[in-house]
Structure formats: structure tokens, C-alpha cells
A and B are shown apart, each in its own frame.
Chain A
Amino acid sequence: MTTTATLAPVSLELRTGPRHWWAGFRSMITWHLVSLRLWLVLLAVVQVLSGVGFVLGFGLFFEQIPLSVALFVSTGVPVVNLVMTGMVLGPQLVADQKASHSFDFIHSLPVPHTASAAAWYVVCLIGGLPAVAVSLAVAVWRYDGLPLAVTPDVAPALLLTAFTGTMVGLAVAHAITSPMVTRLVTQVLVFAMFAFTPILFPVEQMPAWLGAVNSALPLRHMADMVRASLTDLPFENLATSYAVVGAWGLVCAVLAVRALGRRR
């Protein structure tokens, strides 16, 4: 057959600066979304089902669930929805890429590491936000008189929660070189998130020492931030919660980007 390929347009100029960053960021969002295309619907369904499952399932513990409990659970579920993709799915995807050696190609693409991390954050938001909306809608439908009060703070609370969850996941994904260890760590994270962090139950019900441990970790503070933004409940030290979650997010972002660029 006749070869008709146009001559190869060899890259001559080095690309730097904000335009290069922005182009890489946009392209990587597309790359990640297309990579997940086959599973995006399934991911959304699982996210919605898990959120709705918590909202409805906790009601089964009670003959007549107190509205305060329903409100607590319903306003904790968004945190689960928002961090699940970034903190659990993300590291497992990277572990799969490393195990199949396809990570080398992705790593060889000329995209700034910060742009790549930011793109993944956007994808995690896309994966989590619809489930948050559906879970809250189901809660309102299921629990008559649920005193939800959505405030403008919901935007920074949800965005920061998803950011820190994603960055923790990226740090785990890239700081740990063994795919098997990464998978084990994410399993432990899921278990710890549901069993030992005060997201769906009050911190007062935990042993004091475990409550103190959680005060230094981000999940409890994420729950406080999100809950405060969705209710009229009074919260003390909300600024501390934002500071702790923000600090975790920043530190993990730095760790993740450094780990992405680390050469053994």
C-alpha cells in the first residue's frame, strides 16, 4: 500500500509557563475522564448507592429515627462521597497502572505534575458531587422535616474536602512504590474511615484518646466543615477545622507532587 502519512511534526520549542500548564491540565482531565469512560456510570451508581444506602440504612437502626440523628448521618454522607474517589479509587487505579507497567507511559507525557494532580482533583469532584446531591435529596425525601440549611459555605467546604481527600490519595498512590502495599493501605483507609472516624457518628461517642487522634486527622474536620455548611448547628473552632483540612491537603499535595517527580 502507499504510505500517505504527512511528515512528522517534530517538537522544536520547549513549552513553559501558564499556557503550558493550562493545556496540560485540560488535556489530562480529558485523559482521565476517557480512561474511566467504561466505569464512569458504574462509579456514579456505586457512589449514589453507597450515599443513599447510608442515608436510608441508618434509619433502620431506629423505630423512629430522631431528626437530629438523621441530620447527622445525612450531612456526614457527603464527606464519604467526596473522598471515596480520590482517597480510595485513585490510589487503586495508580496501583493497577504500576502493576501493568502502563504508568511509565503516562509518566512520560509532558505534563507538569501539578497540572496532572489538579486534573485528577477535578475528576474526583465530577465523580463525587452528583452523589452528594442525590444523597441529600434522598435524605430530604426520606426524613420529613429534616432541618437542612444549605449555606454559601457549602462551596468551600465541599471543594476543600474533595481536595484534601484527593491529595491524600495521590500521596498514598505515589509515595508507596509497591502496588500491593498501595491496595492494602487503601483498604485500611476505607475500614478506618467508616469504623474509627466521627463522620457518621459524633466524636463524643468515641474513646477520648481516639477522639484526640481524630482531632489531628482531616476526616473529622471535613465532617464538621460540611455539616456546618449544610445546617444551622453551632460549631466551635470551625476555623481550626478549615486550617487542619487545608494543611493536610497542602502537605499531601506537596508530597504527592514530589513523589510524582521522584526518581529512584
Chain B
Amino acid sequence: MPTDTAMAFHAEGVTKVYADGLRANDALDLRIAPGEVFGLLGPNGAGKSTLVKQIIGLLKPTEGTLRIGEHDLVAHPEIARQLCSYLPQAQMPIDSFKAAEAIELTGRIRGGDRATVRARTDALLEALDITQWRDELGMKLSGGVKRLVGFAMATVLPGRLVILDEPTNDVDPLRRRLLWEQVRRLGDEGCAVMLVTHNVLEAEKSVDRLAVIMDGKIVAEGTPSALKAADRGQLRLQVMLSPGVETPESPEWVRHPVRVGNNLVATIDEDAASAGIDWAVGLMGQGTAEEYALGATTLEDVYIRLTGHASANGEDEA
């Protein structure tokens, strides 16, 4: 991993208060080193997008500093646009562009020479397994392929900080793996990567460190293992409720129960495993539940505990 720490991304005391008084970011401190893939997790409205928009110069912090190395991104948004590349959550405006054309043109706009940009475009198309659509207009691409083209546009000539907002939305599982390989390679090449998501399980496999943001504040930060350490000695109890039933009342020892669709997810102590099984079986006997699963806790359980929200692993978000 490159050690060019002089070009690390720093956010210090970043606070954003909108005109209506909403405090979207509250004294955020973050550091992302070159080569590091950093996850920024949080439910909708937590303040993730506000932070990103301040980094790329769409919003101005009320207080605090944003820097890459010695470059002050708040004072010089034009420098921020050169040092950061950005994949927004919304689809790229490429209906009229052929896939390869959109990637190449973005590379040229980012200052790449024609030969380098063309080679990199071809390589990305192949690496993401979307070469067959290289001459297809954006309006004819599926959502997933369009998303991958957007990823290639954002990374064809990446900046020192690459911000990826929900990069795998609509992407099929096979190509998701290819995309994560490319994210890893960005880190290997020395980019700091900020992955903005509320898909916790995906982030757990992909990031070096992460922060959970809630109500504009960072409520936890560390490696996935470090964050899960607090849940050591805990088990994840997942009960699939029968459709249409009310959420059953949980015993006191069932912690942080959250219902997502018909899934009731909670944590229990390891020594309460037997009681947990008995409770779940009892629910099944009453017709309240159809099945249950007991297993090791995941980062999602940490996330639920910290935010009170389930993550968006293809299901609705609380």
C-alpha cells in the first residue's frame, strides 16, 4: 500500500448548518490515507451527502476544514474538483453518449492525454466485463451497466480522493465483484477511496475502515473487526415472521430488535442461545413465525445498534 501520507484526506470539525437551522454535519473529523478504502455508513438523512457535497465544492461548511495534503478544499473548490473524482448516487447524464465515449471524454476533461485515456477506458470496460456495450448509447443501457459506466467515468483518471456513492446500485452480483476489484486497485494505486453506502454487508467485505454517521455525527469509527469487537459474545437471532402478523413483544434479553419486512433481527448473549431458540420455536408454534436462524453477529448488527436502522441490503430501509 502506498505510504504517501502527505496526500491524505482530512476533515476536521466540519459542521454544516443550513439556513433553516438544520445541523446536517456536526463537528465531523475524518482521515483517509492514500491507499485506504474508507466506508461512510449511515441511514438516509444522516449527513453523508452533505459531507460529500462539501468536499466537491457544492456546499460550503459552516465551520471546519477539508484538506487533501496541504490543499485547502474549502478555500479552493477548483482544486477540490481536480483532486477528487466523484460517482454520484444518481445515474450519470449519459443518455446521448456511447459508453466508451462517455468514459473517454470524462478522462479528457480530467486532463488525460488521448492515448492514456483510451487505453484506460478499454481496460476498465474489459475489467468490468461491459466491453460488449462500449458503442451502445447510454439510454439503451440497463441500470446496472449504466452504473458501471458511471464508475468507469469517475475512475478513468481518478483524483487523490475517489468518492463513490452507492457504486453497486443495480449492478449484478458477478460484476459487483469485478467492481470491488477495481476499487481495491484504486487503493493499491494510491487513491484514498470514500465509499458512501447504507449497504452494510457489502461495505464490511470491501472497506479497510469505516465510520457510522448518524444525525450528522460520527457515532463509531474503526476497522470492521474493531467495530464488531464490542459485540463479541453476542449472537444474531433472525426470526422470519409470518406475513401480516404484528411484531411480537421481545423478552428483555433480546437486544435491539428491528423489523425489516417480515424479518425480525436482534442480538442475544451467547449463553442465552438456548432461550433464544426456545423463544423462536415458541413463535413458530403460535404461527407468528415461519423459521429462525441463529448465527455470529455481523457488522449490520453493530450498525443497527448504533443507528436503530436496518441497512439496505436489497430490502427496505427503516
Where the two chains meet, the residues of A that have a C-beta atom closer than 8 Å to any C-beta of B are 1, 3-11, 14-15, 20, 23-24, 27-28, 30-31, 34-39, 97, 100-102, 104-112, 261, 263-264
Q: Determine whether the beta carbon of B90 is less than 8 Å from that of A108.
A: no
Q: What are 25 A-B contacts defined by CB distance under 8 Å?
A: A1-B129, A5-B123, A6-B123, A7-B185, A8-B157, A9-B112, A10-B158, A24-B109, A30-B108, A31-B105, A37-B96, A97-B93, A101-B90, A104-B56, A105-B90, A105-B93, A106-B93, A108-B58, A108-B86, A109-B81, A110-B82, A110-B109, A110-B111, A111-B109, A263-B54
A-B contact count (CB 8 A): 143
Q: Determine whether the beta carbon of A263 is less than 8 Å from that of B93.
A: no
CA distance A34 to B139 in the complex (A): 13
Q: Determine whether the beta carbon of A6 is less than 8 Å from that of B119.
A: yes
Known contacts A1-B129, A10-B159, A10-B190, A101 near B111 by CB under 8 Å? no
Chain B interface category by residue count: 35 or more
Tell me the smallest distance from the CB of A40 to a CB of chain B, in Å: 9
Q: In the complex, given contacts A3-B178, A35-B97, A100-B91, what are 5 additional A-B residue pairs having Cβ atoms less than 8 angstroms apart? A: A4-B127, A30-B105, A39-B96, A100-B90, A110-B81
Q: Determine whether the beta carbon of A36 is less than 8 Å from that of B81.
A: no
Chain A residues with CB below 8 A from B83, complex form? 11, 14
Residue B235 interfacial (CB < 8 Å): no
Tell me the smallest distance from the CB of B122 to a CB of chain A, in Å: 9
Chain B residues with CB below 8 A from A111, complex form? 81, 109
Complex A-B, nearest 7 residue pairs according to Cβ-Cβ distance, in ascending order: A101-B90, A102-B93, A263-B60, A5-B127, A5-B123, A110-B81, A37-B96
**Cβ contact of A10, chosen from B56, B71, B160, cutoff 8 A:** B160
Chain A residues with CB below 8 A from B105, complex form? 27, 30-31, 34
Q: Determine whether the beta carbon of B96 is less than 8 Å from that of A34.
A: yes
CA distance A159 to B155 in the complex (A): 38
Q: Determine whether the beta carbon of A27 is less than 8 Å from that of B123.
A: no
Residue B88 interfacial (CB < 8 Å): yes
Tell me the smallest distance from the CB of B162 to a CB of chain A, in Å: 9
CA distance A107 to B189 in the complex (A): 26
List the A residue with the shortest CB-CB distance to B2: A10
List the B residue with the shortest CB-CB distance to A24: B109
Tell me the smallest distance from the CB of A100 to a CB of chain B, in Å: 6
**Cβ contact of B126, chosen from A5, A37, A105, cutoff 8 A:** A5
CA distance A10 to B124 in the complex (A): 14
Q: Determine whether the beta carbon of A3 is less than 8 Å from that of B127.
A: yes
CA distance A105 to B106 in the complex (A): 11
Contact residues, B61-102 vs A (CB, 8 A) = 71, 77-79, 81-93, 95-97, 101
CA distance A108 to B91 in the complex (A): 14
Residue B110 interfacial (CB < 8 Å): yes
Chain B residues with CB below 8 A from A263, complex form? 54, 57-60, 77
